[in-house]
Structure 1
Amino acid sequence: MLRSKLILESIKGAYLPVYDSSNAESVMKKSTRHRQTPKGPPRQKPAPENPIVLTGEQEVQKWHHEKLMEMVTERTNELRLLNEEFRTIFQGLPLGIVYLDREFNIIRANRFFCDLISVSEEEILGKPCYDTVGEHAADTTKKDLEKICTFCKKSICFTDKKPAIIERPLGVRFIRVTTIPELNESGDIVRFLEIVEDITNRKQAEAEVIRMGHLAAIGELAAGVAHEINNPVNGIINYAQILANKSTAGSKEHEISGRIIKESDRIVHIVDNLLSFAKGSSEERRMVCIDDILHESLSLTGAMMRKDGIKLTVNIPPGLPRVIAHPQQIEQVFLNVLSNARYALSQRYPAAHNDKVIEITAGEIKADNASFVQIIFHDRGTGIPPKVLDRIMNPFFSTKPPSAGTGLGLSISHGIISSHHGRIKIESSEGAFTNVVVELPSADGANSEVCGFDNEEMQNGKT
């Protein structure tokens, strides 16, 4: 009866007991208790051989098969869901994820990493990482293992079998690479997982913090220098004023005294401007004239321009609309552009030359149904190669040697102008010229007549 009981409990709808020869009599009694046997001779029917036993086994097998298929379907759906979740995470993370085998061949790479190095996954699959994104990848003189990066941390992973981290440049960007070895049950490395983070913005912010620290130090120095310079200059102004008061108007003495006072005032103004720029300012944006900001910028760079034999040609029409801006930030942009132009001219013309000129023009333009004040800085220096022109404003990218530039000037300038809802564009022809075009939206309702500029005063670097 144990077997019939098991089948009854396992199969719904199986109500007949399985024939058990050891207890046949009791089974027959229980079976006939619930139905009346008709009168007359019993009908003879051939009994099939163990029909109930076979039917029960088939039902058990069917039940087990159905349950097994349910489990397989459930597990398959779970695996499909997990695979979709993994694919979404793998492709959607704002991090580069790369799998490599023991020989550093790329097994798999996600979309972020491929976009970072500007290739498709198909182009790099199966290739060594040092032959695709390594520091010697483009060096045709090196072969195979000679191209392994000097800063590679995978060799360290082979030794201590722990994750290793490195920060390094990748083209014009900075990346942070975390290399994680994957071990088998024996503790041997079977492959590597590399997580690549784009830290360009962080590096740029760190560089800006360092720069601000330098400016703070310069500000303290400038404050002391300004005090030491302004005291004697004020004395010169006072003595010149005494001479002017004692001289006859129109006389040579009166004219010279006036020139002394004017030039001394320029010294005071330059020192104050340097002090203001170095210290920084917390002032809010306000309505200003672009020509005033340009005047301040040229007063700081005029001496260097004259020293290098660079001529300045300034053509700013009167009556330009004013703009709403942070004057010191716009001045920082102008100083950077002038510094780049000065470097390019000095590289092309180490000595005096007729084309060693920076031309500055300004005007009002209409674009996108709005009014802009446009300032153009034109130099005839070395120009910019076409292949790098589209990257010239990327952080840490520079055509100068490391000792001459950080590659942050134009990037910061672009950020400043963009924050003012303006535009900065660069046009260049290698070996011929460079135009830096700065456009700032004019202030609505501004009284343009208050803006005026003495072009003659700025000619040839005079400040």
Structure 2
Amino acid sequence: MFHEKEAVIEKLTGVKSSKKSYYTELKRTIAELERKNKKLEVLSDIAKGFHVHRPIQESLERVISQLYDMYPMQRISLSLLIDGELQLQSMYPDILAPFPAGTIFPKEESLYWKAAERDIIVIHEFDESTIHFKEEIALARINIYHLCIVPLIVKEELVGVLSFGSEDRINYDISDIEFLRQLSDHLAVLVENARLYQAVLQGRDEWEQTFQAVADILILTDRNQRIVRCNKAANDFFHVEELIGSSFHELICRESHHPCPFEDSFYTNEMKNYQLTIQPERVCDIQTFPVIDEKQTSIGMVIYIKDVTEKIRTQAQLEHSGKLAAIGEMAAGVAHELNSPLTAILGNTQLLKRSMGQENANYNLVEGIERSGNRCKTTIKNLLSFSRPEKNETTQCSFQQAAEDVLSLIGFQIEREQITINKEFAPDLPSIKGNPHQIEQVLINLLLNAKDALLSKKESKKIITIETGIMEHAQEKGNYISVKDNGIGMEENVMKNIFKPFYSTKYKQRGTGLGLSVSLDISKSHNGTILVSSKKGSGSEFTLWLPQEGGSP
């Protein structure tokens, strides 16, 4: 009876039906909350899984796999705006690719462009009888007839278009559209960041390739002059596999410069230019550029080094050739002016000798005039020969003859300084193959250096000895000619540097520091060398050694 009354009351009051509605509404609300949470999880997972260094293809795969539980989509594609053109960038899966990557969609025929220009999410459905757009033609081939097209916007600028495709219709409500808008906002930022990262990465790679391709040396140091970066040319030049972390001062200056000359550039925040001899026999132009932070404080240096050794040597050779050309012109003029009177003098002396006979008291005087005239004629001939433009031709050369020819040119210049010249020539010394002019040039440099060394000596007995002979060097037989003086000699640290271009212990007006450098180059071009022995206070000896087989200057 009680239960019957309770049932009647429920029917009259509608309590039971209210409970059913309540539970139905609660169930629907919970389902909506779960769906919203699922959407939030999707947004979070997509953001976490979208890495700038990961290929976009992988990121798209992650997006569609996350969305598939909510929306049965079969295809996703990403088109980006590049230089004003909408270009298909990537798609997933590859087997559902009606367009190849790189396809450009024309504005007039593209459904993607319609959505992009209006900045709205387009839900588009079509069949084969209603095809109007380029995308529809291609998608119909893979049975995709339903599209959801979402523009990607960053800072009110179009980045691209995201397209979802499915075979069947998907019913989207307002919450779905809002979710897709949020998704597009997330993806737009992520895609733009990925593009910017790739652009920076590409720029870095291009600069790295440019940096490594520069033939000259590039070095970046920190505030403590430690090398933090360098190009391949630096490693090759210094013959070191890894320069990173080493001290730039110790690498360049070693013990020769204290304090470091590059500190001036660092502390003044100004670009500086230097020219130093670094590495054995290498002259380099060096430019330093301070690296300045926002506080206008130097935090490091960019250092550019160019090896100009060959350029300097070429300039020295050109300078030498120019001097020889000037001497040649002068010698030609002198020869023209002197040859005519010399011819008359020599001709008349021969006539006088014939007319007076040997018994004449003046015959010896006439012979002396003839010898002096012939000597002048030989000197002019040698001067003309030495001053002619050089030819890189080899011929059989005699060290003795080269020495005699050189002494005829500068012997008087040396002897007038009260310097005695001794000649110790080996008899029957075989000739060698070489360039006579270049060998004479080496001898002139060695003799003039010996003379300068003796001029600095206070003792009255000053001697230069020229010696020729045969000796072995590096297990090879060859001829040598040495120039020895009893001058002031050299210290060991000076001997280490004498063949470096522009290194000189003389005053500037007495030397350029190129003589020995050029001489060594000439000897090497003949497959020979120059040997040096010296002792401070006891004199020096320079020996030009050339192989008897000759070289190729």
> Normalized against structure 1, the TM-score is what?
0.65
The 8 Å contact of residues 277 and 500 in structure 2, kept in 1 or not, is answered as no
Which secondary structure does the structure 1 equivalent of 2:509 belong to? coil
Which secondary structure does the structure 1 equivalent of 2:362 belong to? helix
1:185-196 equivalences in 2 (<5 Å): 192-196=301-305
Give 2:424's aligned residue.
Answer: 315
Aligned equivalents of 1:114 and 1:133: distance in 2? 17
The 8 Å contact of residues 165 and 176 in structure 1, kept in 2 or not, is answered as no
Give 2:517's aligned residue.
Answer: 411
Aligned equivalents of 1:418 and 1:131: distance in 2? 28
Which of 135, 138, 142 is the aligned partner of 2:258?
138
Aligned equivalents of 1:385 and 1:186: distance in 2? 49
The 8 Å contact of residues 382 and 431 in structure 1, kept in 2 or not, is answered as yes
Q: Unaligned stretches of 5+ in structure 1?
A: 13-71, 158-163, 445-463
* Counterpart check, 1:248 vs 2:357: yes
Tell me how far 1:198 sits from its aligned partner.
Answer: 1.6
For 2:483, the aligned partner's letter is F
Which secondary structure does the structure 1 equivalent of 2:537 belong to? coil
Which of 512, 527, 531 is the aligned partner of 1:425?
531
Give 2:490's aligned residue.
Answer: 384
Aligned CA distance change for structure 1 residues 390 and 186 (closer, same or farther; 3 Å): closer
Give 2:337's aligned residue.
Answer: 228
Aligned CA distance change for structure 1 residues 214 and 132 (closer, same or farther; 3 Å): closer
Give 1:203's aligned residue.
Answer: 312
Percent same amino acid at aligned positions? 26
Which secondary structure does the structure 2 equivalent of 1:345 belong to? helix
* Counterpart check, 1:352 vs 2:481: no
The 8 Å contact of residues 273 and 296 in structure 1, kept in 2 or not, is answered as yes
Give 1:54's aligned residue.
Answer: none
Tell me how far 1:344 sits from its aligned partner.
Answer: 0.4
The 8 Å contact of residues 378 and 433 in structure 1, kept in 2 or not, is answered as yes
Tell me how far 1:167 sits from its aligned partner.
Answer: 5.2
Aligned CA distance change for structure 1 residues 405 and 193 (closer, same or farther; 3 Å): same
* Counterpart check, 1:124 vs 2:242: no
Which of 60, 65, 71 is the aligned partner of 1:6?
71
Give 1:326's aligned residue.
Answer: 435
The 8 Å contact of residues 277 and 328 in structure 1, kept in 2 or not, is answered as yes
- Write the deviation string for residues 178-221 of structure 1: whole angstroms up to 9, x where unpaired: 44566789999865422211212212212322232222222212
Which secondary structure does the structure 2 equivalent of 1:258 belong to? helix
Tell me how far 1:4 sits from its aligned partner.
Answer: 3.5
Give 2:377's aligned residue.
Answer: 268
For 2:352, the aligned partner's letter is L
Aligned equivalents of 1:365 and 1:137: distance in 2? 40
Aligned CA distance change for structure 1 residues 204 and 104 (closer, same or farther; 3 Å): farther
Which of 273, 278, 281 is the aligned partner of 1:166?
273
Aligned CA distance change for structure 1 residues 348 and 87 (closer, same or farther; 3 Å): farther
The CA RMSD measured in Å over matched residues stands at 4.3
Aligned equivalents of 2:400 and 2:437: distance in 1? 13
Aligned CA distance change for structure 1 residues 197 and 262 (closer, same or farther; 3 Å): same
* Counterpart check, 1:282 vs 2:402: no
* Counterpart check, 1:375 vs 2:484: no
Aligned equivalents of 1:88 and 1:358: distance in 2? 56
- Write the deviation string for residues 21-63 of structure 1: whole angstroms up to 9, x where unpaired: xxxxxxxxxxxxxxxxxxxxxxxxxxxxxxxxxxxxxxxxxxx
Q: How many residues align?
A: 359
The 8 Å contact of residues 269 and 298 in structure 2, kept in 1 or not, is answered as no
> Normalized against structure 2, the TM-score is what?
0.55
Aligned CA distance change for structure 1 residues 315 and 252 (closer, same or farther; 3 Å): farther
Which secondary structure does the structure 2 equivalent of 1:6 belong to? coil
Which secondary structure does the structure 1 equivalent of 2:375 belong to? helix
Aligned equivalents of 2:292 and 2:221: distance in 1? 13
232-241 vs 429-438, which moves further: 232-241
Aligned equivalents of 1:123 and 1:5: distance in 2? 59
The 8 Å contact of residues 283 and 309 in structure 2, kept in 1 or not, is answered as yes
Which secondary structure does the structure 2 equivalent of 1:259 belong to? helix
Give 2:346's aligned residue.
Answer: 237
Aligned equivalents of 1:182 and 1:235: distance in 2? 76
Aligned CA distance change for structure 1 residues 389 and 137 (closer, same or farther; 3 Å): closer
Aligned CA distance change for structure 1 residues 109 and 261 (closer, same or farther; 3 Å): farther
Which of 396, 415, 420 is the aligned partner of 2:502?
396
The 8 Å contact of residues 393 and 414 in structure 1, kept in 2 or not, is answered as yes
If asked which structure has higher relative contact order (CA below 8 Å, sep 6+), I would say 1
Aligned CA distance change for structure 1 residues 109 and 235 (closer, same or farther; 3 Å): farther
Aligned equivalents of 1:211 and 1:385: distance in 2? 29
The 8 Å contact of residues 285 and 325 in structure 1, kept in 2 or not, is answered as yes
Give 1:340's aligned residue.
Answer: 449
Q: Unaligned stretches of 5+ in structure 2?
A: 1-34, 36-66, 76-91, 94-193
The 8 Å contact of residues 424 and 436 in structure 1, kept in 2 or not, is answered as yes
For 1:384, the aligned partner's letter is M
Aligned equivalents of 2:472 and 2:221: distance in 1? 54
Aligned equivalents of 2:252 and 2:393: distance in 1? 48
Give 2:217's aligned residue.
Answer: 96
The 8 Å contact of residues 382 and 405 in structure 2, kept in 1 or not, is answered as yes
Tell me how far 1:279 sits from its aligned partner.
Answer: 2.8
249-258 vs 289-298, which moves further: 249-258
Give 2:114's aligned residue.
Answer: none
Aligned CA distance change for structure 1 residues 206 and 281 (closer, same or farther; 3 Å): closer
Tell me how far 1:372 sits from its aligned partner.
Answer: 1.0
Aligned equivalents of 1:285 and 1:3: distance in 2? 86
For 1:344, the aligned partner's letter is A
Give 1:219's aligned residue.
Answer: 328
The 8 Å contact of residues 243 and 257 in structure 1, kept in 2 or not, is answered as yes
Give 2:177's aligned residue.
Answer: none
For 2:539, the aligned partner's letter is F
The 8 Å contact of residues 96 and 109 in structure 1, kept in 2 or not, is answered as no
